[in-house]
Chain A
Amino acid sequence: MTFVQGDRAPEPADETLRRIAAELRRPIAFDAAIDAAALQAIRAGRRSTGRRGVWPWLGAAAAALAASILLAVVLHRDPAAGASRAVLLRLVAPASSTVTVVGDFNDWNPSATPLAPSGAGEWTVRLRLPPGRYRYTFLVDGREWQRDPTEPPVPDDDYGAPMSVITVS
């Protein structure tokens, strides 16, 4: 087999593979209705459209209700049952006017979990989380994503944004 392994030559040297790659690069048109449906979902406040079935057809209100119920379940889970642990998230951001946290535990909803100022430029929020691994990041002033410097970073993620990970055991 002859095959170019060099990083500078992504084109396969092999004739068959070259023909395959060329064929796979041939353009196919996708319907603009995809964009329109995405815009409709965005206008309705939906954060994702990935699941089939009833879920995609729920309106923004229903989605928000479901998220808040989920969050309420997470927050009010009885610690005596041993199913959840208290987690304190903290970020020092003295020049900020709002800080929220988005993560796997709140469906990446930017408005679900605000942090409160606790003095000296520090923002905190206390969560109760069931055991698991959670990716999260802080959203500062509604625009800037800033990961938690006290927890390990996530090297790779959906958005290419800085994120941290906590493991609740």
Chain B
Amino acid sequence: MPAKTGSGGTRLSQGGPDRSPSGMTESDAALVARTLAGDLDAFAGLMARYRNSLGLYALHMLGNREDAEEALQDGFVRAYWALAACREPERFGAWLFRIVVNRCRTVRRRLRRHDHLTLLPADLPGRRGDVSETLGWREEIGRALARLRPHYREAFLLRYVEEMEYDEIARLTGAKEPAVRMRVKRASDQLRELLRDVRAG
């Protein structure tokens, strides 16, 4: 019985936004089949197709490029060796996303000794009220995201950035659906509060 991977409404399950020259015309399923037949170029096409979208999630989740790239690369390697387990090759993106989400959790656990994420250099000005003058909107969001609990951040990103349904998030994260809703709500409340005084640049 394959684990469900959702109803297909997420951004990643729709094929991903990033198309590489090598994967321009071939479907995910075709590239998966070629990879399973031993064609590494086909897997390169899949990686290129999803690199940016998955990297974006990892970056938001982990807060810095180095860790995001580590999670992404590890996710690619693990996905390659486990590709036979991808029961719905046409939804390869959603399957790969699950792996990267879990890689981010693993990397995050290793980083737990750090009190905060490192989305920005520690020496940037950070006092509320005056930061909007020195930092852009995006940096402010990153700073606010980094202050959320990882579970809250994860739930928020999955819901509103990856556009997943609550039941999909529950299956992906192993949390109960009410807990997911609670996490999204608290993340939203906290982000709203943290960014209250910041205006878009």
Q: Which residue in chain A gives the minimum CB-CB distance to B100?
A: A158
B interface, over-half SS: helix
B124 at the interface (CB under 8 A from A): no
Taken residue by residue from 1 to 39, chain B's Cβ proximity to chain A (1 for < 8 Å, 0 otherwise) reads as: 111010001000000011000000000000000001000
B141 at the interface (CB under 8 A from A): yes
Question: Which of B77, B95, B200 has the most chain A CB atoms inside 10 A of its CB?
Answer: B77
Choose one: B73, B85, B103; the contact of A37 (CB below 8 Å). B73
Which residues in A have their C-beta under 8 angstroms from that of B165?
A: 7, 10
Choose one: B36, B78, B141, B171; the contact of A23 (CB below 8 Å). B141
B90 at the interface (CB under 8 A from A): no
* A107-B70 Cα distance, complex, nearest whole Å: 19
Q: Give residues of chain A (2-44) contacting chain B, Cβ–Cβ below 8 Å.
A: 3, 5, 7, 10-12, 14, 16-17, 19-21, 23-32, 34-35, 37-39, 41-43
Q: A39-B40, A159-B95, A161-B82 are in contact. Are A34 and B160 (CB under 8 A)?
A: no
Q: How far is the CB of A164 from chain B (nearest CB, A)?
A: 11
Which residues in B have their C-beta under 8 angstroms from that of A96?
A: none
Question: Chain B interface residue count: which class?
Answer: 35 or more
* A48-B103 Cα distance, complex, nearest whole Å: 10
A119 at the interface (CB under 8 A from B): no
Choose one: A21, A24, A50; the contact of B107 (CB below 8 Å). A50
Which residues in B have their C-beta under 8 angstroms from that of A42?
A: 40, 43, 77, 80-81
Interface residues on chain A, number (Cβ under 8 Å): 55
Q: A19-B200, A139-B84 are in contact. Are A156 and B56 (CB under 8 A)?
A: no
Q: How far is the CB of B112 from chain A (nearest CB, A)?
A: 15
Question: Which of A3, A16, A139, A147 has the most chain B CB atoms inside 10 A of its CB?
Answer: A16
Which residues in B have their C-beta under 8 angstroms from that of A30?
A: 51-52, 55-56, 68-69, 72
Choose one: B53, B106, B191; the contact of A17 (CB below 8 Å). B191
* A108-B159 Cα distance, complex, nearest whole Å: 31
Which residues in B have their C-beta under 8 angstroms from that of A143?
A: 36, 84
* A39-B86 Cα distance, complex, nearest whole Å: 19
* A43-B18 Cα distance, complex, nearest whole Å: 24
Question: Which of B43, B51, B137 has the most chain A CB atoms inside 10 A of its CB?
Answer: B51
A103 at the interface (CB under 8 A from B): no
Knowing that A14-B188, A30-B51 are A-B contacts, what are 7 other residue pairs whose CB atoms are under 8 Å apart, sorted by A's residue number?
A: A17-B192, A39-B40, A42-B80, A137-B85, A145-B85, A159-B82, A160-B87
Can you spell out 13 A-B residue pairs with CB atoms less than 8 angstroms apart? A5-B181, A7-B165, A10-B159, A10-B165, A11-B160, A11-B163, A17-B192, A19-B200, A21-B160, A39-B47, A110-B81, A143-B84, A159-B99
